[in-house]
A and B are shown apart, each in its own frame.
Chain A
Amino acid sequence: MGEFRVHRVRFFNYVPSGIRCVAYNNQSNRLAVSRTDGTVEIYNLSANYFQEKFFPGHESRTTEALCWAKGQRLFSAGLNGEIIEYDLQALNIKYSMDAFGGPIWSMTASPSGSQLLIGCEDGSVKLFQITSDKIQFERNFDRQKSRILSLSWHPSGTHIAAGSIDYISVFDVKSGSATHKMIVDRRYMGVSKRKCIIWGVTFLSDGTVISVDSAGKVQFWDSATGTLVKSHLIANADVQSIAVSDQEDSFVVGTAEGTVFHFQLVSVTSNSNEKQWVRTKPFQHHTHDVRAVAHSPTALISGGTDTHLVIRPLMEKVEVKNYDAALRKITFPHRRLISCSKKRHLLLFQFAHHLELWRLGSTVATGKNGDILPLSKNADHLLQLKTKGPENIICSSISPCGSWIACSTASRFFLYRLSYERDSISLQRVPKMPAFLRSALQILFSEDSTKLFVASNQGSLHIIQLSEGCFKHLHTFQPQSETVEAMCLLAVSPDGNWLAASGTSAGVRIYGLKELKPHCTVPAYNFPVTALGIAPNTNNLVIAHSDQQVFEYSIPDKQYTEWSRAIQKQGFHHLWLQRDTPITHISFHPKRPMHILLHDAYMFCIIDKSLPLPNDKTLLYNPLSLTNESDVIRRRTAHAFKISKKYKPLLFMELLDERTLVAVERPLDDIIAQLPPPIKKKKFGT
């Protein structure tokens, strides 16, 4: 295959935000995750846990609660006192509404899904009616003394339980008055703590209320009598989250020590009907606080300060023992945060509120496989671009020539012109952006850096002509159907004739750029697209899907290529299909049209279409021992997938030229080092 010089970059100082809430939607098998910076992500658990949508964060919008209601409508509430509904089609915020109760700590949808209940800082519990396009305040419940940190409806919808500080209240929904007040023991292992915060409550249909609190207890209360039934002391620190399964036969709690405990309702003896809650399994997949847990029918889902989203399948619920039964740990976003200027060897890093531009170093030395070459010039941090305002950056891009940088937040679009003069660099913002360029979901420059393609969240695609410091709006492709679906991925052919765009669910659309009109649509596929790329010369569009399938579609011929048909016929190698991170980038070798480079977080692969395809019996990942074998054996065992797992976690990989690769890694240890220290646990004498 050949030898490459790899720029191994580890200075992308990216730290994901901690997870604050998770909400599982049983109907669509989707998971909404909110992070401490206000970002909300939607994961499609049916599509190989692909993060298919995201809503950018906002500095003032810390979400404290997230819930699905009325089928598939998503609401969040936060400390700014607002309730927000998200538009899952256009990927923006539908509206936000002040609840007038101070910071909101908790929110829950009624079992029917038609009402929303929030718990506020001032001790009020407010009931909202969900109308077809908005929410409407209905009434207040009896105000409590202190903030309402957790809420839960009784499955029949007649009562609610509200966790506050030091006590739990049970309300009658009809009258709105508290029927019981259950005081929680403040003491923790004999020592009286200042306060006992009820971090989570769950109301079961038999009237049992389960509470988790800051004293490390999981307690079972009888809501009819207001008495404590049972208490489990499970942690030396706070128990911060609880989620119960729909069948009410198991629930999960997360503690500040990073442990997740599974409780199950099991028979006391093997054939008796008497059942009791038993703590069955502890899981320690987190190092920090587990702030949020969810219970899907087949898995326990947890997330917390350590930024990992962990999906732990319950083995007894998994019917087929395939790779889906494996533990998933999702740390990095399933989208690109990095773009690169091949010509000038520049890397643009996207952070929540700023961009960083780095120039790669160089070397004159040569070496053999595995050598680290001495640097003649180190990498330079050229500039840091801070966006004004509280909004997070949605997307960013640098032109291949390196003289343009574009980025967008939810309300503003920025375009900068860079000029290089020897070692110095000057930056100039292009003023007066047109009104239609307000917010972009994806930005792409053409290969010759003369055109800018912007995918807006209204489903339209804007084409802008760039020339020496000024720009001109060329055309806008309006969405074809009435359904407004945002385009998230773009790819342009190197010759500048074709543009491919893909949304979150529908197929890939291809536009002709010469005649400026839609060319065709690639047949729809069940799984969302994770990456797109158009090959030079042949104009073959390569599409990667979240189920790890890769298709090659010839744009001029409007059909799948022979190679794509061949690999679909034979099927991908089972190990290829078992990878658990999506392909996030596809690029091509400028001189070798047969090669496709693609990568996910744990490997990169160069597919050589001229070589035979591997079947399930061949080794997919070439073991190192083979490198010592003779050329004959090597040639005999060679197959189309050349895979390297050397760089991981891999956030970005691109071919700079024929013999040079750039790989951006983000080691997990570096992320952990930047997190606040976890709760100290005694190592000795335990």
Chain B
Amino acid sequence: MAALEEEFTLSGVPLSAGPDGLLGVEPSDRTDQFLVTHSGRTVILYKVSDQKPLGSWSVKQGQIITCPAVCNFQTGEYIVVHDDRVLRIWNNEDVNLDKVFKATLSAEVCRIHSVQGTEPLVLFKKGAIRGLEALLAEPQQKIETVISDEEIIKWTKIFMVFKHPVLIFITEKHGNYFAYVQMFNSRILSKYTLLPGQEEKSAIQSFAASANRKFISLMSLSSDGCIYETLIPTHPSDREKNQVVVRSLLLKAVVSGDVRNGVALSVLDQDHIAVLGTPLSASKECLSIWNIKFQTLQASKDLLQGTSGQLWYYGENLFMLHGKFLTVIPYKCEVSSLAGALGKLKHSYEPGSHAVPHFVNWETSQEYGLGSQNSEQSRILRTRKVEVSLQPAVSASAQLLLTIKNDTEKHIEVELRKFLAIKQTPEFHTTIGDIVTGLLGRCKAEPSFYPRNCLMQLIQTHVLSYSLCPGLMEVALEKTDVQILQLCLQQFPDIPESVTCACLKIFLSIDDDSLQETDISTESVFDYSDTVRDEKMEEQTEIMENGFNPEEDNSNKEKPQGTTEETTLSPVTPKRAALLRNAVLHSAYSEAFLLPHLKNIPAQHVTLFLQYLYFLYLKCSENATMTLPGIQPPTLNQIMDWICLLLDANFTVVVMIPEAKRLLINLYKFVKAQISVYSELNKIEVSFRELQKLNQEKNNTELYSIEVLELF
């Protein structure tokens, strides 16, 4: 449940905040430290947990800060702009802002954006965007105009999407709003016109946005007190045209429309937003947390002394100006769900999702060294391509994971082939596991997405196991993809019995036509037409193998023609046989765990499987070595174990089925024959042993001998 904790103020000294409040609150490169820029001349660095300032810097009298100070996460320096064009860069050691690095730019700056993992970006008032490094290399470079004259930038925000910054800014022109999205990986600027929804008839007062892999979700709080959502794709389909996006109602009547100080909106996580404003029912300003999924108010806090209508959210803290003090309200949201309450919550951890959340993740930046290292690495990756080859597998797999997330099946396949062609690294199997998990994650998200060929390729790398990608067989079972299942059964050493049984069910139930279409390797199944059909011969061998006298069991001789037919013809098609034989019979299992699952197989299928197993047994006993022809045939023991298991699990059912009657009689005869063989063998065992003893005595050297031994 989302909850607001006890608020605290950051400084005992009243802030000289002007009527417009603060210019901004920005995170610094240390956890818990924030840069607060007053809309005057001062920048203060606060340590939130200590509730006290660590440093304060001011510009000269007469100068005025026009853009909130930010921290360059790559260098740890602070950047601020005063008088629209003058850029100042300093660090903690500097005391006086007048003496620090200064660059005068040729155009007016609107905002500087800085997030973890990329260099700061400078947004000019006319819509142009420059990287800080490029800008500092030539401060007086010409800055182009992107937006039209009357457009004014109202709101800006930066996201990291797939490790690349995406900057969005909203402009207004005569009451119309336009959204510009600048992608830095492709250097594309897309423009969208924000159209109000049908029911919306009011001016927008505040914006907030969050981004996921595909969309930027832009939320706007209108003067009617409702929150509207606009989805802007992060990967524009049409680059040229001016596109139109429509706002839709997300949350109704959150705050009252006419407010003195304005309202503010902030996205907390994918389900929660914070709204600062005056609720409809009350007259006091208040901070409220809304769950947009369930449309419920989760928490609210009255702010009696009034606010400036500004709200920032970093880490777990909400910052706002309450009265004359900068106030911090910690916000906590524990994930709760019905499944969680019932104890069935599965923590879906996707190793592939590296997307930086829409707010700066303080968990990762807590260790500054590590964070900067990461950014360093990504910077190297972008700028110096030569050095990329230092860690090809890691980056290649990361690249591939990216591809998996949003590319087409064809493209993924090509990429995967390229990836697999690279030499295997020690962590190859975990990488493969990640890739499979990535693919499966997308499968689950997009029902139409099923990269069959990729999965096949991956399974055939021989490094996967069931525990490495538990979802794979589930997906294959869902899609009844027998070929994948066959491969899995052959390759994975650790398939749980329940899954083996589910596969068995599918193999038995799938109809022959659909089986015919699939491409199953039947190489291990021997050709049935080759088997000798000499009935006489067969009868004889059978008697020999079973080892009982024909006189003893006369019914054997009066075998109806059908039985002979049955023994020579497989009850299943070769493809099904291939599935059953090599996939299922070879799989490892533990009886105790398999039995309960076997009980769930329908009786007809049990009969079919039994018939097939019996057929295999007969084939086995045709030759003296008691083996089946073909590549990697199941052993006699495997066949027998499966027959026993099936009968153990389903005997009461099978015994009632008329079709199974003959089969059961045959099996009964077989067991009877075996028992008689073994009892005979036990009878002559003593003779065997005597023979063995005689043999040993012959080998035994004399009781006394004189030998020559040379020692070296």
Q: Contact between A626 and B711 (Cβ–Cβ < 8 Å)?
A: no
For A3, list chain B residues within 8 Å (CB): 708-711
Determine which residue in B674, B682, B710 has the highest number of CB atoms from chain A within 10 A of its CB, and name it: B710
CA distance A563 to B531 in the complex (A): 76
Q: How many whole Å from B424's CB to the nearest CB in chain A?
A: 32
CA distance A5 to B709 in the complex (A): 6
Determine which residue in A369, A606, A622, A669 has the highest number of CB atoms from chain B within 10 A of its CB, and name it: A369
Smallest Cβ-Cβ distance to B680: which chain A residue = A684
CA distance A1 to B675 in the complex (A): 61
Q: Contact between A7 and B706 (Cβ–Cβ < 8 Å)?
A: yes
Q: Contact between B710 and A5 (Cβ–Cβ < 8 Å)?
A: no
For A4, list chain B residues within 8 Å (CB): 708-711
A465 interfacial by beta-carbon distance below 8 Å: no
CA distance A11 to B701 in the complex (A): 11
Determine which residue in A10, A634, A644, A685 has the highest number of CB atoms from chain B within 10 A of its CB, and name it: A685
B148 interfacial by beta-carbon distance below 8 Å: no
Pick the interface stretch among A22-30, A224-232, A236-244, A372-380: A372-380
Of the residues A11, A362, A685, contact of B674 by C-beta under 8 Å: A685
Of the residues B675, B704, B707, B711, contact of A370 by C-beta under 8 Å: B707
Q: Contact between B704 and A626 (Cβ–Cβ < 8 Å)?
A: no
Q: Contact between B711 and A375 (Cβ–Cβ < 8 Å)?
A: no
Smallest Cβ-Cβ distance to B686: which chain A residue = A680
Q: Contact between A373 and B708 (Cβ–Cβ < 8 Å)?
A: yes
CA distance A5 to B705 in the complex (A): 10
B588 interfacial by beta-carbon distance below 8 Å: no
For A368, list chain B residues within 8 Å (CB): 708, 710
CA distance A124 to B558 in the complex (A): 69
Smallest Cβ-Cβ distance to A685: which chain B residue = B678
Q: Contact between B708 and A5 (Cβ–Cβ < 8 Å)?
A: yes
Q: How many whole Å from B677's CB to the nearest CB in chain A?
A: 8
Q: Contact between B682 and A682 (Cβ–Cβ < 8 Å)?
A: yes
Q: How many whole Å from A52's CB to the nearest CB in chain B?
A: 32
Interface string of A2-44 (1 = CB under 8 A from B): 1111111111000000000000000000000000000000000
Q: Contact between B708 and A367 (Cβ–Cβ < 8 Å)?
A: yes
Q: Contact between B674 and A369 (Cβ–Cβ < 8 Å)?
A: no
CA distance A527 to B708 in the complex (A): 36
Which residues 68-116 of A sit at the B interface, judged by CB distance below 8 A? none
Chain A interface residue bracket vs B: 35 or more
Q: Contact between B709 and A361 (Cβ–Cβ < 8 Å)?
A: no
For A683, list chain B residues within 8 Å (CB): 681-682, 685
- Answer whether A2 and B711 are a contact pair too, CB < 8 Å, given A669-B696, A684-B682, A684-B685: yes
Interface string of B660-680 (1 = CB under 8 A from A): 000000000000001101110
Q: Contact between B712 and A363 (Cβ–Cβ < 8 Å)?
A: no
CA distance A622 to B708 in the complex (A): 18
CA distance A379 to B696 in the complex (A): 23
For A274, list chain B residues within 8 Å (CB): none
Q: How many whole Å from B711's CB to the nearest CB in chain A?
A: 4
Of the residues A361, A370, A638, contact of B712 by C-beta under 8 Å: A638
Q: Contact between A369 and B709 (Cβ–Cβ < 8 Å)?
A: yes
B624 interfacial by beta-carbon distance below 8 Å: no
Q: How many whole Å from A91's CB to the nearest CB in chain B?
A: 34
B537 interfacial by beta-carbon distance below 8 Å: no
Q: Contact between A626 and B712 (Cβ–Cβ < 8 Å)?
A: yes
Q: Contact between B711 and A642 (Cβ–Cβ < 8 Å)?
A: yes
For A11, list chain B residues within 8 Å (CB): 703-704
Chain B interface residue bracket vs A: 20 to 34
A646 interfacial by beta-carbon distance below 8 Å: yes
Q: Contact between A6 and B681 (Cβ–Cβ < 8 Å)?
A: no
Q: Contact between A9 and B704 (Cβ–Cβ < 8 Å)?
A: yes
For B679, list chain A residues within 8 Å (CB): 685
Which residues 359-404 of A sit at the B interface, judged by CB distance below 8 A? 361-363, 366-373, 375, 378-379
CA distance A2 to B711 in the complex (A): 6
Q: Contact between A6 and B712 (Cβ–Cβ < 8 Å)?
A: no
A627 interfacial by beta-carbon distance below 8 Å: yes
CA distance A294 to B150 in the complex (A): 97
- Answer whether A627 and B681 are a contact pair too, CB < 8 Å, given A10-B703, A685-B675: no
A233 interfacial by beta-carbon distance below 8 Å: no
CA distance A9 to B705 in the complex (A): 7
Q: Contact between B678 and A684 (Cβ–Cβ < 8 Å)?
A: yes
Q: How many whole Å from A644's CB to the nearest CB in chain B?
A: 6
A661 interfacial by beta-carbon distance below 8 Å: yes
CA distance A685 to B705 in the complex (A): 43
Smallest Cβ-Cβ distance to A371: which chain B residue = B708
Q: How many whole Å from A646's CB to the nearest CB in chain B?
A: 7
Q: Contact between A627 and B712 (Cβ–Cβ < 8 Å)?
A: yes
For A642, list chain B residues within 8 Å (CB): 711-712
- Answer whether A1 and B711 are a contact pair too, CB < 8 Å, given A684-B681, A684-B682, A685-B678: yes
Q: How many whole Å from B636's CB to the nearest CB in chain A?
A: 14
- Answer whether A2 and B705 are a contact pair too, CB < 8 Å, given A682-B682, A683-B682, A684-B685: no
Interface string of B638-677 (1 = CB under 8 A from A): 0000000000000000000000000000000000001101
Please, could you name 8 A-B residue pairs with CB atoms under 8 Å apart, sorted by A? A10-B704, A363-B706, A367-B708, A371-B707, A375-B705, A642-B711, A684-B682, A685-B677
Nearest 8 Cβ contacts at the A-B interface = A685-B678, A684-B681, A369-B710, A1-B711, A11-B703, A684-B678, A379-B704, A367-B708
Apart from A1-B711, A9-B704, A370-B708, 20 more pairs, CB < 8 Å: A6-B706, A6-B707, A8-B707, A11-B704, A363-B706, A368-B710, A370-B709, A372-B706, A372-B707, A375-B706, A379-B704, A622-B712, A646-B709, A669-B700, A683-B681, A684-B678, A685-B674, A685-B677, A685-B678, A685-B681
